[in-house]
Amino acid sequence: MKFTASQIAGILEGDVDGNPDVEVSRLAKIEEGTKGSLTFLANPKYTQFIYTTNASITIVNKDFSPENHLSTTLIRVDDAYKAFSKLLEYYNQVKMNKIGIEQPVFISDSAKYGENLYLGAFSYVGENVTIGNNTKIYPNVYIGDNVTIGNNVIVFAGSKIYSDTSIGNNCTIHSGAIVGADGFGFTPNEKGEYVKVPQTGNVIIEDNVDIGAGTTIDRATLGSTIIKKGVKLDNQIQIAHNVEIGENTVIAAQSGVAGSTKIGKNCMIGGQVGIVGHLTIGNNVRIQAQSGIGRNVKDNETLQGSPALNYGDYNKSYVYFKNLPKLVDRINSIEKKTNND
């Protein structure tokens, strides 16, 4: 899809400085701009590239004053960074503005869906499924029986939504995510063999939740695994059965939360964090990457390490950790001297 400089200026409420009819069809970094691309200049340290870029259009701040000849058409706005972000959002909406049901797909006769549905080829929609308005479901998605999906939801290709899952409005589920698989529930019998405990609950995902590619969220044994509104989960995260994650908490990639742990709201959890089961993590907690959490955590704590310590205590302790070889040498030297005396 192509846009002219004048069309883009209209979207951004900016002014064209150059050829208003020049067209662009793609986005680029300013240092990598080519003919037919659009870029922006917001950081002064990249100013040098505006004189050499081959991008057809460059978004700049209104107060930008070139010192040399420019071959790119300028669009002047109040804030180039915000304007480019707005344009990215608009571009993404246009690019993903798909409507209609492709073939082949399977839709149960008992399923219901709202206006402007997009359902990609080879998708499966089970019995008693309800899908809201303006929702987009990309190819090869599986939606099990009794699933409810709200308005303005995007489910990318290859995702699997198991039965009885509830998904709110304005959620995004990226490719390969699996929501509602059985929790890891087994119990040993008298022979020492592990017997599966039926997982009869479901998963509830509230509004404005993002779930990254390859992330898995297990159904509850009884009741619900709950992801509350505004939660953002990165790629390749494991959320176990009966976990609850509070509002606006963010978790980075490759982290794992074991069963029945409750995490509060507004928490920030770094990558590769492991949290054992049946814990309570308070509100506004910060957990540094690669930490291991094996105890309950109070509100507003910041933790690091495995097992995790208070962040300040960890940093103080680290001073000693890294000096252990020197301390051992000193102790050995003192012991030798003492023995000789």
pLDDT for residue 321: 73
pLDDT, tens digit, 9 for 90 and up, residues 277-302: 999 999 999 999 999 999 999 999 99
pLDDT for residue 96: 81
Q: Give the bridge partners for 262, in sequence order.
A: 244, 280
Instruction: Of 67, 39, 35, give the one whose Cα is nearest residue 54.
Output: 35
Q: Residue-wise over 14-23: b if at least 16 C-beta within 10 A, else e?
A: bebbbeeebe
Give the count of beta carbons closer than 10 Å to the beta carbon of residue 232. Answer: 15
Catalytic residues, by residue number, are: 241
Encoded tokens for 187: 């119990």
pLDDT for residue 331: 84
pLDDT, tens digit, 9 for 90 and up, residues 92-120: 877 788 899 999 999 999 999 999 999 99
pLDDT at residue 202 greater than cutoff 80: yes
Secondary structure of residue 160 in the 3-state scheme:
strand
pLDDT at residue 27 greater than cutoff 80: yes
Q: What distance in Å separates the CA atoms of residue 57 and residue 15, rounded to the nearest whole number?
A: 12
Task: State the average pLDDT over residues 60-83.
Answer: 95
pLDDT, tens digit, 9 for 90 and up, residues 44-53: 999 999 999 9
pLDDT at residue 216 greater than cutoff 80: yes
Q: Residue-wise over 175-209: b if at least 16 C-beta within 10 A, else e?
A: bbbbbbebbbbeeeeeeeeeeeeebebbbbbbbbb
pLDDT for residue 341: 63
Q: Which residues contact 102 (CB under 8 A, 6 or more apart)?
A: 119, 120, 121, 139
pLDDT for residue 211: 98
Give the least confident one: 20-24, 157-161, 162-166, 329-333.
Answer: 329-333
pLDDT for residue 88: 87
Domains belonging to the chain, first-starting first, are 3-95 (3.40.1390.10), 100-314 (2.160.10.10)
- For a pLDDT cut of 90, what percent of the chain falls above it? 85
pLDDT for residue 339: 76
Task: State the average pLDDT over residues 164-189.
Answer: 96
pLDDT at residue 309 greater than cutoff 80: no
